[in-house]
Amino acid sequence: GAGVSQSPSNKVTEKGKDVELRCDPISGHTALYWYRQSLGQGLEFLIYFQGNSAPDKSGLPSDRFSAERTGGSVSTLTIQRTQQEDSAVYLCASSGSGEETQYFGPGTRLLVL
């Protein structure tokens, strides 16, 4: 596709359930990022994948959060045992090799009841 895509657009889940959020980066982009946007915390970095290097997980808020990137393309962010404070918009971005500009997807709006 032409841009970064994310699915689902919206997700409502019950506290304690696991959720998976998907990101399809721009074709050929080697770097992929996850961010979280919430009312109280603004836009926060979560995790960064660059090629075959070990991901930068420094932004993950707890061990309930994990992410993987398969085949250097699609990424899945998993939140286990969701809590109400996990409610936020989860944004994915990608960038090309040697390029610093990050291009963002439309986000997944997660609501934990």
Q: Which of 90, 102, 108 is nearest to 29 (CA)?
A: 102
Select from 18-26, 37-45, 68-76, 80-88 the region that touches other proteins (CB under 8 A): 37-45
**Beta bridge mates, 37:** 43, 89
Q: Does 42 bind other proteins (CB under 8 A)?
A: yes
- 74 with 23: CB under 8 angstroms? yes
CB of 104 to other proteins, least distance (A): 4
Nearer to other proteins, 14 or 58 (CB): 58
Select from 11-19, 71-79, 80-88, 103-111 the region that touches other proteins (CB under 8 A): 103-111
User: For residues 32 and 55, what is the distance between their CA atoms, to the nearest angstrom?
Assistant: 10
Query: How does DSSP classify residue 56?
Result: B
Residues in contact with other proteins by CB under 8 A are: 4, 31, 33, 35, 42-45, 48, 50, 56, 58-59, 91, 93, 100-107
